[in-house]
A and B are shown apart, each in its own frame.
Chain A
Amino acid sequence: MTTGSETQDMLQPAQSGPNIAQRRGREGKKVGEQILKVTDLTVQFPTEDGLVQAVNGLNYDLQMGQTLAIVGESGSGKSVSSMAVMGLHDTRRARIGGSIMLDGQEIVGASAQTIRRMRSATAAMIFQDPQSSLHPFLRVGWQIAEAYRAHHKVSKSVAMKRSVEMLDRVGIPNPARRAKQYPHEFSGGMRQRAMIALGLVNDPKLLIADEPTTALDVTVQAQILDLLNDLQDEFGSAIVLITHDLAVVAEVADEVLVMYAGRAVEHGTATEVLAQPRHPYTWGLLSSVPSISATGSSLRPVRGLPPSLLNLPTGCSFHPRCDFMERVPGGRCIKELPELIPPESQSDRVTRCHLAEPADIFRDEIAPSLDGSEGRSHE
C-alpha cells in the first residue's frame, strides 16, 4: 500500500468528493502543505517518586494528505506526545516544553479556549477503546451532532442530519435508525466507525488515531483501515497513526517514527524504515513479529525490559538491551547520547545510533533471519 505509485496518488489533490467536502471548504489548505510541526517537545510528569520523562526532545512535521505512523511499545511516549498535540494534558500535572505548531497555531501554553476551538475543528483524535470513549447514556447520533454544534451555529435538526450523513459516510448501514441507538447497541467495529464519524464531523485537517484497530478482529481491522484510507483520499486530511503493529504500519503509513523511552530513534518513509532499518531497536521489533506469510522463522526479540522513565539509562537509552554495543568503540553508547543523524546523502531519514555501518549489519546479520526475505528468493 505504500509503494511509490500509491504514495504519488495520495499526494495528488483529493478529488472533490461528495457534497460534504464541497460544502465546508478547505480554507486554502492543500495536500502537501504543512499542518503540524512538533519541535523539541518534552513532556514530564512530576510524581512522588521523581520526574517521569515521558517525551524527550521529539521533532517531526506532517503534511496534509500524509500518514505518519508512530511506533513503539508501551511507555515509549507515543500516546503522551499525541495527547500533547491535542492539548489533552492537565497543565497542572504535566510539564510541557518545546513547541507544537498546529495549522499555524502554537498549542504549548495556549489558553483552554484556544485549544477548545482547535479541537475537533482542526485536529481530532480517535481512541483505542470505543467502548469507553463514547458516552454510554447518550444516543450515538446526538453525540456526533453535539460535536458539530460546538463548532457550527446550526439547529439541532440540521446537526442531526449531518450526524446521520456522517454515520452513512463511515459505512454504518441504516444510519437514521442507528443514530437513535446507544453505544451498547453497536458492535465493536460499529462503535469504532461511530468514533471515526465523531472525529471527522467537523472535518479536521489532522486526525490522530491512537491504536484505532487494536481492540478489533482482523476482518474488522481491515475494514477500518480501508475506511481511514478512503476518507483520507477524499478529504486530504493528515493522519497520525499510533500503533505497535508493524504490519499495519507496513500497509497504511507513508512515514514511520520509531520511539523508544520518550525519544525518536528512527524516522523515515515506511518502506525505508521497515525494509532497511538502521536502529537495533527497530531490528528487534521486526524480528519479534511472527509472519503470517512464512513458516519456519525464528523470533529474535529484544531482550530485557524497557527502562523506567523515572531513571533513564545514561548515554543511549537502548544500550542495556542492545546486542551491538561492543561494535561501538570506547563505550560511547554508555557515555554519550547519540544524535538523530541522517545517513550519508539522505536528509529526511534519521537514526539515533552510534553504529558506523548499520545498513551492512542489517543486511548481513538480521535480514537473513527475518521471514520471507530469504524464503521467497529461493522459489
Chain B
Amino acid sequence: MSDQLGTQDSDRYREAAPVVHPDSDPDRKPMLVVKDLVKYFPVREYTGLFPTTLQIRAVDGVSFDVAPGETLGLVGESGCGKTTTGRLITRLLEPTAGSIQFQGREIGHLKERQLRSMRRDLQIIFQDPYGSLNPRYTVGNIIGTPLQVHNLLPKNKRKARVQELLELVGLNPEHINRYPNEFSGGQRQRIGIARALAVEPKLIIADEPVSALDVSIQAQVMNLLEKLRKELGLAFIFVAHDLGVVRHFCDRVAVMYLGKVVELGSRESIYGAPQHPYTQALLSAAPDLNVVRGAVPEERIRLVGDVPSPINPPSGCRFRTRCWKAQDICAQEEPALIPRNDSGELHTIACHFAEPKTSIVADAAEVTV
C-alpha cells in the first residue's frame, strides 16, 4: 500500500514545488539546515545549604534539514523538545550550542536587528488562537503590523493587502475592523495564519496549529494549510503530537524523544516501516478509527512509566529505560542517527537494535484477507 500511495503523494507534491521525493533524491538543496542544536534551560534548585544550578536539557543535539516546498513534521510527547526546536529556529529563543543555517546564513546567534530581515522569510503560527492575538488590536492592525514593520507597502495600500489576505484564509474581508474576541477559535487561527503570510515567507513553523480546535474546525484549518502550501509553495515545519494530523500533512517526519531525534524519514518509511522501538510504540499506542471498519490492530506495545526527567537523562540511549530491547550497550553507547538495515539514505534511526516492522495496517490487512 505504501508504494502505491507513495507515488501518488510525490506526484501531488511535485506539482506544488519542484521537490523530488526526499527518500529518492540525495542532491536536494535544503533551505534550512539545523545541526547539533542544543538548548539548556537553567533552573535553580534550593535543596541543601547552597542553591545549585541544574540544566534542563530541552533540546540536546538535534540535526535535520528542510528543502523548499517540503513539509517536515516534528512529533513526540510533551516535553520532548519539539516546541523548543521550533522556537529556536524562529529565534524566539537563542540556542545554547549548535548551528541553524537558513538560506545559507547562520542565524543561531544573530542580534535582534539582524533577525528582522531573516524573519521576513521565516514565520511562525502559534498553538493558542486566544493567547497569540492582541485583544486590543483590530484584525486589520494585527495582520497589517508585519507589513509596517518590514516596510513592505505604503500605508495607503496596506488595507487592500490585508483584505486580500483575509480572503486568502477564508475570512470575510469586511471584518477588517473587528477585534479578535468577535471570532471563534478556528477563525482566530485563520487570522494567525494570515498574519504569518503577510510578509510572504518561504518557511512557516506551525506549532500545534490545530490542536486547540474542534474536530471539524481542525479539518477546515488543515485543508486551508494544505491549499496554501500548494498555491504558494511554502515549506513547513509542522510541530504536532497528533500522529494522524502529521501523517496527513507532512512529507517527512522526525520523531523526537527527550530532546533527541530518534528517527527521521519520509512519511511512508516512518508510518509504514518504523524501525525505532519508540516510534513503533508511539504508533501502536494511538487509537485508530479503522478498528470499527474491520481492521484488527496488532497486539499493542504498551510503554510503562513516564518519560525520564530531562534534567538528568539516562546515559547512552535515552529511551533504554522504557525499551523492551535494551541491553548493556544501550546504557554505554549512544546510538547515532544513521541509516540502518537498508532503510534508504534518508531514513535514519538512532537505535542499536533497529529492525523494520511492517505497519499496523499492513498486518491488519493480512489478518482480514
Contact = CB atoms under 8 A, between A and B. Distances in A.
Contacts of A188: 78
A283 B281 CA distance: 30
Interface in B230-252: 241-245, 247-249
A274 B292 contact: yes
A74 B216 CA distance: 11
Interface stretch (B44-52, B158-166, B298-306): B298-306
A250 B295 CA distance: 11
A290 B244 CA distance: 5
A251 B291 CA distance: 7
A292 to B, nearest CB: 4
B222 interface: yes
A246 B287 CA distance: 9
A248 B369 contact: no
B214 A247 contact: no
B303 A219 contact: yes
B292 A288 contact: no
A358 interface: no
Nearest to A244: B215
B222 A187 contact: no
B368 A376 contact: yes
A56 B283 CA distance: 39
Interface string A355-376: 0000000000000001111011
B241 A372 contact: no
B306 A189 contact: yes
Contacts of B291: 1-2, 250-251
Contacts of B245: 290
Interface in A51-71: none
A270 B222 contact: no
Interface in A188-214: 188-190
Interface stretch (B15-23, B327-335, B336-344, B357-365): B357-365
Contacts of A222: 285-287, 300, 302
B216 A294 contact: no
Interface string B204-217: 00000000001111
A247 B184 contact: no
Given A292-B243, A292-B244, A247 B282 contact: no
Interface in A98-112: none
Interface string A287-303: 11111111111011111
B361 A294 contact: yes
A305 to B, nearest CB: 6
Given A218-B286, A247-B287, A305 B247 contact: no
> Helix, strand, loop or mixed for chain B's interface?
helix
A296 to B, nearest CB: 4
Contact of A288 (B215, B241, B286, B287): B215
Interface string A303-344: 101100000000000000000000000000000000000000
B77 A217 contact: yes
A271 interface: yes
A185 interface: no
B244 A221 contact: no
Contacts of B303: 219, 223
A32 interface: no
A257 to B, nearest CB: 15
Contacts of A378: 1, 4
A73 B219 contact: no
A98 B362 CA distance: 49
B24 interface: no
Nearest to A1: B291
Contact of B5 (A287, A292, A295): A295
A371 B290 contact: yes
A116 to B, nearest CB: 34
A245 interface: yes
A218 B290 contact: no
A290 B241 CA distance: 13
Nearest to B75: A218
Contacts of B302: 222-223, 226
A295 B216 contact: no
B293 interface: yes
B5 A246 contact: no
Given A285-B216, A379-B1, A291 B77 contact: no
Contacts of A219: 77, 281-282, 285, 303
Nearest to B322: A219
Contacts of B186: 305
A286 interface: yes
Given A299-B223, A301-B220, A375-B5, A291 B290 contact: yes
B126 interface: no
Given A219-B281, A290-B248, A296 B288 contact: no
A272 to B, nearest CB: 9
Interface in B72-106: 77-78
Nearest to A76: B214
Nearest to A289: B289
A289 B5 contact: no
Nearest to A281: B216
A194 B283 CA distance: 26
B181 to A, nearest CB: 15
Contacts of A150: none
A289 B244 contact: yes
B63 interface: no
A127 B56 CA distance: 30
A271 B294 CA distance: 9
A373 B292 CA distance: 10
A274 B295 CA distance: 13
Given A293-B295, A296-B5, A190 B215 contact: no
Residue among B216, B222, B281, B304 facing the most chain A CB atoms (10 A cut-off)? B216
Contacts of A225: 287
B347 interface: no
A295 B219 contact: no
B70 interface: no
Contact of A379 (B267, B271, B365): B365
Contact of A375 (B1, B6, B249): B1
Contact of A218 (B6, B241, B305): B241
A97 interface: no
Nearest to A74: B214
16 contacts: A73-B214, A219-B281, A220-B77, A251-B287, A288-B216, A288-B219, A289-B219, A292-B244, A295-B271, A301-B216, A301-B223, A371-B289, A372-B293, A372-B361, A376-B364, A379-B369
Given A289-B219, A295-B6, 16 more contacts: A217-B77, A217-B241, A219-B77, A247-B289, A274-B293, A285-B215, A288-B215, A290-B245, A290-B249, A291-B288, A291-B289, A291-B290, A300-B219, A301-B220, A376-B365, A379-B365
For the complex of A and B, 5 pairs with smallest distance between CB atoms: A301-B219, A290-B248, A288-B219, A217-B77, A247-B287
